[in-house]
A and B are shown apart, each in its own frame.
Chain A
Amino acid sequence: MSTLYDCRDAFSDTLVALGESEPRIVVVNNDSVGSSKTGAFRERFPDRLINVGIAEQNMVGVGAGLANAGKIPFVCSASCFLTGRALEQIKADVAYSDANVKLVGISSGMAYGALGPTHHSIEDFAWTRAIANLTVVAPADPEETAQAVRLAAATHGPVFLRLSRMGVPAIYDPTYSFAFGKASRLRDGGDITLIANGVMVTRALEAAELLAVRGIDARVLNMATVRPLDREAVIAAARETGAIVTAEEHTVYGGLGSAVAEVVVQTVPVPMRILGVPGVFAPTGEPEWLLEHFGLTPEGIRDAALELRG
């Protein structure tokens, strides 16, 4: 069993380091200093952490206003409340206004487990991906999280970073180079492509090993950026491997799988399976149990791939 990391730690460490070199960086949150792990930033830069209280619409608007004042605000909150409660602020104040705001959705997907569907954020890809001028990223491990945070800070424009609190193994080392809109090919293969992001990437990699046992050589793509999608990587996968399975910790309506399918059906139509939460509110259960419940496991991905390859 490899060591598991909470990507919020990489986020927190990177944010503090950035704060040292870039005085314009500020943090805005909604009484979520603990859950977003921004306590270290507050300790180091007390005047640069703005806690607006439990008020998400105001939180995102304040972020846009800080950007107007020349700051680089990281607006951090549980993803369900950030995206669900403040979606119109994300659309109008941030994306449409082209405010230099970095939205950080913490504990996305089903990471809140038994707290239930009110706290799950399995609609956030669909909601945010539909908005123009908003980059949507779900990193897979600590290194990719750190690089995505640094790149977001260094790049002008609205970004939504979708982070989890579920433990994930390290996939990348510092030689990796993350870019918005670029898939990362983690495994070569010509029989089928597995496309995943966030906590599902490591599961897709394990599924590829299970498929190798059956003589199927699977390509694995980490599609961290959901918008803008790496169309070239998707088209190449369809053309070169002839079948695609997507896996995401999100509803199957409107997320990563939908984004991939939009490209596939209009370019190189190939059979696909979209794995995710099948359009229901999750039952009570802890995060790992919920992923298993919905087949979001190495075995579930393997079985979908086997079914596709017939």
Chain B
Amino acid sequence: MGHIGGDFSATDILTALYFGGILKVYRDRPADPGRDRFILSKGHCAGALYTTLAYAGFIPLDELDTFMQPLSRLNGHPDRKKVPGVETNTGPLGHGLPVGVGAAIGAKIDGANWRVVVLTGDGELQEGSNWEAAMTAGHRGLDNLTVVVDRNRLQQGDSTANTVDPDPLADKWRAFGWAVHEVDGHDFNALLDAFEGLPLQTGKPTAIIAHTHKGKGVSFMEDKAAWHHKVPSREQMLAAMNELEAGA
């Protein structure tokens, strides 16, 4: 179910944000006005977000079994009206960053010190709305805004390089007025160092390009575009669980 490949490339990033003491979010007060805002722009990776939110105590762990089942609040893409901890409904790509820019402007107007973190895919950056938002964020110097690009180099149908290549990606963000940091998106300590150092530069929004592998942790899924939204057989699922548990 869902989009396993991108779930697995993003999981270490989500883990660092939620369990590394980075995001100030509160399971007992999910709508606290002073919370940090995390926005999953790659909404198809709701499975990874729900798992993170469950382990962070926002939803019951056993509810994960209802993922995408009839009438489950755990839709294939997140619904903020149903799931505490979800900030905005995503699914169509290129929506998270503009919303993140708006939230960051709101915090600036109030002189509030909460932060906004938006996680995007890399194929998703082909959506022009991201660059409209990037231009606004750079222009306004929103240093309370961070975008994390899950740079797994694959999109639904092919590699990003064979489709419409986002590279040189760091140069693009810099040209839009952002401070850029590249990191191994599966190196927990490197991710924590990057997040703890936010903002990278006062007066500029930060782009963290996290180099990742789609299907990370499962040998037969890693770096395979087919696993963007392929559903594993029972045998494949068991083999994947064995590999993940061995690697944990």
Residues of A within 8 A of B (CB): 26, 28, 47-48, 50, 52-53, 55, 57-58, 60-71, 73, 88-89, 92-93, 96-99
Across-interface contacts of A47 in B (CB, < 8 A): 109
Check B88–A89 contact: CB distance below 8 A: no
Across-interface contacts of A58 in B (CB, < 8 A): 98, 101, 129, 132-133, 136
- In the bound assembly, the distance between CA atoms of A96 and B82 in angstroms comes to 11
Nearest opposing residue in chain A for B37, CB measure:
A68
Nearest opposing residue in chain B for A88, CB measure:
B92
Check A70–B88 contact: CB distance below 8 A: no
Main secondary structure of the interface of A (DSSP, over half): helix
- In the bound assembly, the distance between CA atoms of A99 and B106 in angstroms comes to 14
Check A68–B98 contact: CB distance below 8 A: no
Q: Tell me, rounded to whole Å, the shortest Cβ–Cβ distance linking A65 to chain B.
A: 2
Across-interface contacts of B116 in A (CB, < 8 A): 65
Nearest 9 pairs of A and B residues by beta carbon: A65-B102, A69-B106, A61-B98, A62-B102, A58-B132, A55-B132, A65-B103, A57-B129, A65-B99
- In the bound assembly, the distance between CA atoms of A186 and B77 in angstroms comes to 46
Across-interface contacts of B106 in A (CB, < 8 A): 26, 65-66, 68-71
Q: Can you add 12 more A-B contacts, CB < 8 Å, to A61-B95, A99-B88?
A: A26-B109, A48-B109, A58-B132, A58-B133, A61-B99, A62-B99, A62-B101, A65-B100, A65-B103, A68-B99, A69-B107, A73-B102
- In the bound assembly, the distance between CA atoms of A69 and B110 in angstroms comes to 9
- In the bound assembly, the distance between CA atoms of A226 and B135 in angstroms comes to 36
Check A60–B109 contact: CB distance below 8 A: no
- In the bound assembly, the distance between CA atoms of A58 and B107 in angstroms comes to 17
- In the bound assembly, the distance between CA atoms of A50 and B101 in angstroms comes to 11
Q: Tell me, rounded to whole Å, the shortest Cβ–Cβ distance linking A175 to chain B.
A: 37
Give per-residue flags for B83-121: 1 if the beta carbon is below 8 A from chain A beta carbons, else 0: 000011111101101111111111101100000100000
Main secondary structure of the interface of B (DSSP, over half): helix
Check B88–A68 contact: CB distance below 8 A: yes
Check B102–A61 contact: CB distance below 8 A: yes
Q: Does B128 contact A (CB under 8 A)?
A: yes
Chain B's interface size range is 20 to 34
Give per-residue flags for B42-81: 1 if the beta carbon is below 8 A from chain A beta carbons, else 0: 0000000000000000000000000000000000000111
Across-interface contacts of A28 in B (CB, < 8 A): 102
- In the bound assembly, the distance between CA atoms of A66 and B110 in angstroms comes to 11
- In the bound assembly, the distance between CA atoms of A73 and B98 in angstroms comes to 14
Across-interface contacts of B197 in A (CB, < 8 A): none
Check B98–A89 contact: CB distance below 8 A: yes
Check B102–A63 contact: CB distance below 8 A: yes
Check B90–A92 contact: CB distance below 8 A: yes
Check B98–A65 contact: CB distance below 8 A: yes
Q: Tell me, rounded to whole Å, the shortest Cβ–Cβ distance linking B89 to chain A.
A: 4
Across-interface contacts of B97 in A (CB, < 8 A): 61
Interface centre among A63, A65, A69, A96 (most CB of B within 10 A): A65
Check A69–B92 contact: CB distance below 8 A: no
Check B81–A98 contact: CB distance below 8 A: yes
> Which B residues, 122 to 173, have Cβ-Cβ distances below 8 Å to chain A?
128-129, 132-133, 135-136, 139
Q: Tell me, rounded to whole Å, the shortest Cβ–Cβ distance linking B225 to chain A.
A: 25
Q: Tell me, rounded to whole Å, the shortest Cβ–Cβ distance linking A101 to chain B.
A: 9
- In the bound assembly, the distance between CA atoms of A73 and B204 in angstroms comes to 24
Q: Does B247 contact A (CB under 8 A)?
A: no
- In the bound assembly, the distance between CA atoms of A93 and B89 in angstroms comes to 6
Across-interface contacts of A66 in B (CB, < 8 A): 102-103, 105-106
Q: Tell me, rounded to whole Å, the shortest Cβ–Cβ distance linking B133 to chain A.
A: 5
Across-interface contacts of B90 in A (CB, < 8 A): 92
Interface centre among A55, A88, A97 (most CB of B within 10 A): A97
Contact (A93, B136) CB under 8 Å given A57-B128, A66-B103: no
Check B105–A93 contact: CB distance below 8 A: no
Check B91–A57 contact: CB distance below 8 A: no
Check A57–B87 contact: CB distance below 8 A: no
Interface centre among B81, B99, B104 (most CB of A within 10 A): B99
- In the bound assembly, the distance between CA atoms of A57 and B133 in angstroms comes to 9
Across-interface contacts of A97 in B (CB, < 8 A): 80-81, 88-89
Across-interface contacts of A69 in B (CB, < 8 A): 37, 102-103, 105-107, 109-110
Across-interface contacts of A88 in B (CB, < 8 A): 92, 95
